[in-house]
Structure 1
Amino acid sequence: MDSFSATSARMPALRSSIDNDPSRYRVLTGERPTGQLHLGHYVGTIRERVRLQDAGVETFVILADYQVITDRETAGAVRENVYSAVLDYLAAGIDPKKSAIFVHSAIPELNQLFLPFLSLVTEAELHRNPTVKSDLLSSGRALNGLLLTYPVHQAADILFCKGNLVPVGKDNLPHVEVTRSIARRFNERYGEVFPEPEALITKTPELPGLDGRKMSKSYGNTITLAMSEDETAQRIRKAPTDSERTITYDPDSRPGVSALLDTASVCLDRAPEDVADEIGSKGSGALKALVAEAVNESLRELRQRRSSLVAADAADVLKSGNRAARRIAVETLDETREAMGMIY
């Protein structure tokens, strides 16, 4: 059984435990602010964060701005992307009174935790990480030190608040495994300090982009949360399909059609095969119209709430979240240094 299958098999028991005693858990989750958040972010993890927050799980949401430059030369419009993401979070239902939203660069203690954590992994382990491999291939540039050590930075992000629950899609599961190894090795070497966090596989662990490839802002195959309904419909109309009129769900042979069916499926909470049967022989035009309506309807309330928010709201939320996160980070770093015998 592979890692994803084994983790998925544990989900019913883990979800039951969360429901029975949410106070046992502390979540760390977040994004690299490389662009606007999209439908994949929303159905993949953001909805799950809101559910956990509302269930009483203590939640920390990081916008890992330093990690924007892991696989690119500049940070680009990182400030704009951070503020946009905060507005998306608020519109989706993340409550800053219950969840701390913060940025990596405002918490210098994260980088101090990174150093001892780096000593707990081998170069071979870092090279084997699938995200490092895929980002290296997509960047087309030489492997830099930040990209190579990206999984260790994520471990510091998770463990600074002693997060023991990490909602993830399929792609990020290996990062949780690295974090578990680092926590275990630190505890074995210096004494019990960190929990070994559990991955919480979300309901939609992997949603393809509109063209059937991996959903990515760089491919232009995403539907952003900030889009208007007309922009959403236009993006969907441009999605590639094929010449076969009867709509069927076949991701291998018909990636474009199947990706649209997957998108409709997550928005309508129906099996993609059922959506295909509904369209039948009406063709790709009918499919795209249905998908556009489903996406716009599912995001309508979120977008209405977002339209009432301004950048100042995001700035206020970040100031509060940064203070809360840094207070905990200082405590954890002190405990880490004490365990290592480095309090002077």
Structure 2
Amino acid sequence: MDTTLQTTDSEALTSDASTDPIGTSAAQGRSAVLEELILQDPGQFRVLTGDRPTGRLHLGHYFGTLHNRMRLQNLGVETFVIIADYQVLTDRDIADNLTEYVEELVLDYLAIGVDPARSTIFTHSAVPALNQLMLPFLSLVSVSELNRNPTVKDEIAHSRQSAVSGLMFTYPVHQAADILFCKANLVPVGQDQLPHLEITRTVARRFNERYGNGTPVFPRPDALLSNAPLLLGMDGTKMSKSRGNAITLAADADETARLIKGAKTDSERFITYDPVTRPEVSSLLLLTALCQNRAPEQIAAEIGSAGAAALKRTVTEAVNEFLAPIRARRTELAQDRTHLRRVLREGNERANAVADATLAEVRTAMNSHY
């Protein structure tokens, strides 16, 4: 895989720290360039993406990340999809039901069209060599650097744990191992994940400088920022599995109708698309627009003075029509749990082969073959 397109750290992920401390503007500019390069030659890229198995995926996930993964896969970009089961061990409720959550995640992936022949689906816990990379990587990052990571701070702040575990604190380095084990050079992320990726790039650079002997062992992966829309939950707050305000991909038509019927709107009868002053109404319009591949302003104009009830009927019809084939496929797949385990087993085998080769290369570079 050609990795010569990689930029320097400063080119891709830094900018004026006073106005853009995590390099968002620079990453957005780089993403536009990357999109052109992907269209020209998708074969020069390898993507690492994935999710923590904390429950069924919802429409926010679909339009925020899943749709983009499918686009890259279908363009011909080699894709690795990690189910980060080790990274939910800090939550006892989830850890006690890991098998169920992992299988539900695989179901969601396959139902939306992730193709195991083109995308490698695998779990953290099944790839020992990947996790072994974390030890040398930790030696390349200081405690103060981890402590400054804003994403870690946010996760710790919102954690339900009484104390911060070492696993949570070192999460960015574990993520570096996730990305670098397969030498991914492209990582689709949201803006809030840029600090994590910056640590990955730092780890790759420091490893190459310390052990590479002039020949880089790891690429420094680029962030691919998407223009993912922000969809609010049905209660008007951030869409989240834990808040119970999201429409999951597995929800049936009746449950979807019930959730949308209870969605928060406002007292103004005339429907307009105005995300700043009417965020709840605008989020429902945007959801409809995404499902129908139309402009939210057009949908608002069609509803006009018919009010919130008409808006909710329109949203319900659009969402149920959009999800119908995904739900049908998911129901069919759920009947054969053996197939789900086979998909994981084969993905784990492919991931292990890649990880073993990378770890062997790391050992050679570190002169630690005994």
SS at match of 2:273: coil
Partner of 2:207: 186
Q: 1:82 to 1:178 in 2, by over 3 A?
A: same
Shift of 1:72: 5.5
Q: TM-score normalized by structure 1?
A: 0.93
Aligned Cα root-mean-square deviation (Å): 1.9
Map 1:190-201 → 2, pairs under 5 A: 190-191=211-212, 192-201=216-225
In structure 1, how many angstroms separate the alpha carbons of the residues matched to 2:131 and 2:229? 29
Contact in 1 for aligned 2:273/2:300 (Cα 8 Å): yes
Partner of 2:301: 277
The answer to whether the aligner puts 1:145 opposite 2:166 as a matched pair is yes
The answer to whether the aligner puts 1:249 opposite 2:273 as a matched pair is yes
Cα deviation digits, residues 212-247 of structure 1 (max 9, x gap): 322211111211111111111111112222222222
In structure 1, how many angstroms separate the alpha carbons of the residues matched to 2:301 and 2:256? 24
SS at match of 2:242: helix
Q: Which runs of 5+ in 1 are unaligned?
A: none
Match for residue 134 of structure 2 among 100, 108, 114: 114
Match for residue 48 of structure 2 among 3, 22, 28: 28
Contact in 1 for aligned 2:234/2:262 (Cα 8 Å): no
In structure 2, how many angstroms separate the alpha carbons of the residues matched to 1:21 and 1:313? 33
Match for residue 96 of structure 2 among 76, 96, 104: 76
Q: Which runs of 5+ in 2 are unaligned?
A: 1-14
The answer to whether the aligner puts 1:225 opposite 2:249 as a matched pair is yes
In structure 1, how many angstroms separate the alpha carbons of the residues matched to 2:154 and 2:319? 29
Map 1:1-344 → 2, pairs under 5 A: 2=20, 3-70=23-90, 75-140=95-160, 141-191=162-212, 192-204=216-228, 206-309=230-333, 310-344=336-370
Cα deviation digits, residues 275-306 of structure 1 (max 9, x gap): 33332222221111111222122222211211
SS at match of 2:158: helix
Q: TM-score normalized by structure 2?
A: 0.87
In structure 2, how many angstroms separate the alpha carbons of the residues matched to 1:266 and 1:132? 31
In structure 2, how many angstroms separate the alpha carbons of the residues matched to 1:207 and 1:154? 26
Contact in 1 for aligned 2:46/2:79 (Cα 8 Å): yes
SS at match of 1:101: strand
Q: 1:57 to 1:258 in 2, by over 3 A?
A: same
* Higher mean C-alpha deviation, range 331-340 or range 275-284: 275-284
Counterpart residue type for residue 331 of structure 1: A
Counterpart residue type for residue 182 of structure 1: V
Counterpart residue type for residue 312 of structure 1: T
Cα deviation digits, residues 230-269 of structure 1 (max 9, x gap): 1111111122222222223344443322322232232223
In structure 1, how many angstroms separate the alpha carbons of the residues matched to 2:93 and 2:205? 34
In structure 2, how many angstroms separate the alpha carbons of the residues matched to 1:94 and 1:340? 37
Shift of 1:22: 1.0
Shift of 1:104: 0.6
Contact in 1 for aligned 2:235/2:264 (Cα 8 Å): yes
In structure 2, how many angstroms separate the alpha carbons of the residues matched to 1:297 and 1:19? 30
* Higher mean C-alpha deviation, range 51-60 or range 244-253: 244-253
Shift of 1:172: 2.3
